[in-house]
Structure 1
């Protein structure tokens, strides 16, 4: 494992200290510091941008070849960190014991005074994560900051009422925030236009993360959010689909089985499997069909029935679209290979 220590909150110092461990190159353009690296440690980029009132963006698009632990040793009051992971998963430790931070989960953190935060990036996994950091004492100087409208739990963090108590919000899973993150990273402008665009997107993302926190505290789930219990239902539903692959598996049927609305069902499958419900079901059917084609005792019509298709021609069309070969040709190749092995 590689361990990288960061002891500063200054933009240039943070990127310089990270680069001591990653040994890449740093580019400074229009107020952005971007570290690029491609070596035996891994490859990717880390970008940091500072804005007024103590707000900064630190985003990672990285793939490490071994575990990398980044330890942020902050003297004085720790910033509030709004995290959102678009790809992969992270581990976080404010005290030596790691907890999982998951893809699409809304995460808000603030450690106690003079403490360290550790983030563990697992090896051989693409990680895309955004950190929006707010230095509390700076943000409170902003006119019309309206922090008094926040929930008591996070308001006390902004006001630093309990500097020796850590704050940790591991909230619901939100697809809409992921869309805002895509827009943030897709900005192709330069100079002032780019800075204004990114700052505007940051404000939207912060608003969404604070809104999710408020609704989480009030036990209200946003239309584009999913709770852990929702995800458990969808995991169970995936097993149900496998066990009932020959039966009708429409969204309406699956919605009744899971107790989730069709919209929440679609959100969950998009979040967990990056597919719509129908795409996921079709993928399973075709993968099962491919395996059944290896059983020479079953004819293709029997396989079509076993996976719940009514038309052999429709099955052949879908199989060809997915694998680039007709099922009859695939089986023929398997038989020829089997005969060749017997002769050898």
Structure 2
């Protein structure tokens, strides 16, 4: 499916999406929302406009078929700062051969020209979750003066290009701080004016950290307090070690040393990638493994307890029941009875 929308203001984008999808445009607490039609997939797109040309679009859906989102030519499109929280998707500028794959945990800064509009291609059968800060640079000029002092020449040119005469593309992994701000934005439980003020503040926190990240990358200082690709790989390595050495995994400090990060970075990384602490991740995997062993082996409860790295059978039974609502012995008896 291919749709085309005007890329000038949040309200116009949301109106065009509603028209293309033939679904209602809902508005609540200043936020617009369009649900995907059932034949296209499940999920929605949200948009909100703050003051001085600043807005946010949130894409959260799973598609039944490929969706191509094309913005119209001949317009000065907002500057886009995208944060990809889930599956990969593609972007390209019209009339440019190069296609950009934007992967999970990456952010991109995008600026097009009236001749080279944005085209986004979203694949089916994968969770898509994108947070996009949209900035009308002409309206934002008044606000950006507070940021210009800390900007380098490239960023200054980018924000001063209010007529959209230059293409700009920059991609990197975004920071742990930004990830936390994104979660806090999405999980806000306030309403009305308070919600708008809170979320607008979070957007400015994200902008500030993103600009600092860009400057750190540009000056090559190496003083990055952020999660980079190498660190992500180390966190993933720690996850693999936990799964392969489950029966002897009990020291987080040693695990951090083995993969080459400090304990705080390891905890931050697990929260970032897996939405849980290291200890919770280990316990959850132990219980999943125990459940699998109860279903697929003849091992008794004591043997399974040691197999998953727990020394106390009573403690194992306690946490198993807390997670599954039934003791390991009862679960085993029920499963084997059903299998007969």
What is the TM-score when the length of structure 1 is the normalising length? 0.83
- For the residue of structure 1 that corresponds to 2:248, the secondary structure is coil
> How far, CA to CA, are the matches of 1:297 and 1:39 in structure 2?
45
Q: Tell me which residue corresponds to 1:189.
A: 191
Determine the C-alpha separation between the residues in 2 that align with 1:46 and 1:333: 43
Residues 234 and 268, structure 1, Cα contact 8 Å, conserved in 2: yes
For the pair 1:118 / 2:119, whether they are aligned, the reply is yes
Identify if the C-alpha distance between structure 1 residues 20 and 260 changes in structure 2 by more than 3 Å, giving closer, same or farther.
same
Distance 2:43 2:295 in 1: 41
Give distance in 2, aligned partners of 1:89 and 1:155: 29
Aligned equivalents of 1:170 and 1:194: distance in 2?
A: 30
Where does 1:308-319 land on structure 2 (aligned, <5 Å)?
308-319=309-320
Question: SS where residue 169 of structure 1 aligns?
Answer: strand
In structure 2, the CA distance between the partners of 1:47 and 1:244, relative to structure 1 (3 Å rule), is: closer
Deviation for aligned residue 1:57: 2.4
Give runs of aligned pairs for residues 1-344 of structure 1, distance below 5 A. 2-28=1-27, 32-37=31-36, 39-75=38-74, 77-86=76-85, 88-94=87-93, 95=96, 97-142=98-143, 144-147=145-148, 149-160=150-161, 166-185=167-186, 186=188, 188-190=190-192, 193-217=194-218, 218=220, 220=222, 222-223=224-225, 225-294=226-295, 296-338=297-339, 340=340
Question: Is the contact between residue 4 and residue 72 of structure 2 (CA under 8 Å) also seen in structure 1?
Answer: yes
Of residues 75-84 and 279-288 in structure 1, the stretch that sits farther from structure 2 once superposed is: 75-84
- Runs of at least 5 residues in structure 2 that lack an aligned partner in the other structure: none
3-state SS of the aligned residue for 1:118? Answer: strand
Query: Closer, same or farther in 2 for the Cα pair 1:337/1:115, shift >3 Å?
Result: same
Contact 2:247 2:306 in 1 (8 A): yes
Runs of 5+ unmatched residues, structure 1:
none
Contact 1:187/1:198 (CA < 8 Å) preserved in 2?
Answer: no
Judge conservation of contact 2:7–2:77 (CA < 8 Å) in 1.
no
Distance 1:53 1:291, change over 3 A: closer
Q: Distance in 2 between matches of 1:30 and 1:316?
A: 46
Q: Match of 1:9, SS?
A: coil
| SS of the residue 2:261 aligns to | coil
Judging changes above 3 Å, is the alpha-carbon distance between structure 1 residues 179 and 290 closer, same or farther for their aligned structure 2 residues? same
